[in-house]
Structure 1
Amino acid sequence: MSTNKSLLTILIVVLAVAPTVEGGPALAVGCVAACNAGAVACYASAGLVFGTITAGVGTPIAAVLCNLAQGTCMAACAASVIAPTP
């Protein structure tokens, strides 16, 4: 894996496990946009095009992992928006 692909993979992992959003809908939109940008980068690092893969037996494992990371990132965005603030 090239350095660029490695960095993009690290980016999607970081986005998946560490998004924090406090401050309302505008920042939530930014968080979701970052998740989507990370997913596109993750697909690209695997030589795939985001949005062109359908689920099934032949789905590349890289696409599955990118999708899982994006889902985790989106869940963290949603949780940070709906979580009560002290």
Structure 2
Amino acid sequence: MKLQNLLLLPTSFAAVALAGPISYGICQGGCAAVAVACYSGAGFIFGTVPATAAAAIPAVLACNSAFGTCSATCAGVTLLAPIP
């Protein structure tokens, strides 16, 4: 058996590398930007509304829900994406 074949054999069993962490960060950044815009449209500043107050304000509650859905979608889609 050639030395070249011996060196290539272990690499053929290597796991597929994933681009998940990079694309996940980009996706989460997009989600956060949309959440900031949503809060701004509702007249609030993202990150400054206490949880008890957020539960009583329908617009903020909708922004939080959309942000959570977007974040969950990012995790489900981007962390399994292979490197191109």
User: What's the TM-score bracket when you normalise by the shorter of the two chains?
Assistant: 0.5 to 0.7
Deviation of 1:68 after TM superposition, in Å, equals 0.2
Shift >3 Å, 4+ stretches: 82-85
Match of 1:29 among 5, 25, 31: 25
Residue 74 in 1 paired to residue 58 in 2? no
Match of 1:60 among 46, 57, 62: 57
Residue 41 in 1 paired to residue 37 in 2? yes
Tell me, which stretches of 5 or more residues in structure 2 are unaligned? 1-17
Name the aligned partner's letter for residue 72 of structure 2: A
The residue that corresponds to 2:3 in the other structure is: none
1:10-68 deviations in Å (ceiling 9; x for gaps): xxxxxxxxxxxx94321111100000000000000011111111122663111110000
For the Cα contact (< 8 Å) 1:44–1:50, is it kept in 2? yes
* TM-score with structure 2 setting the length: 0.65
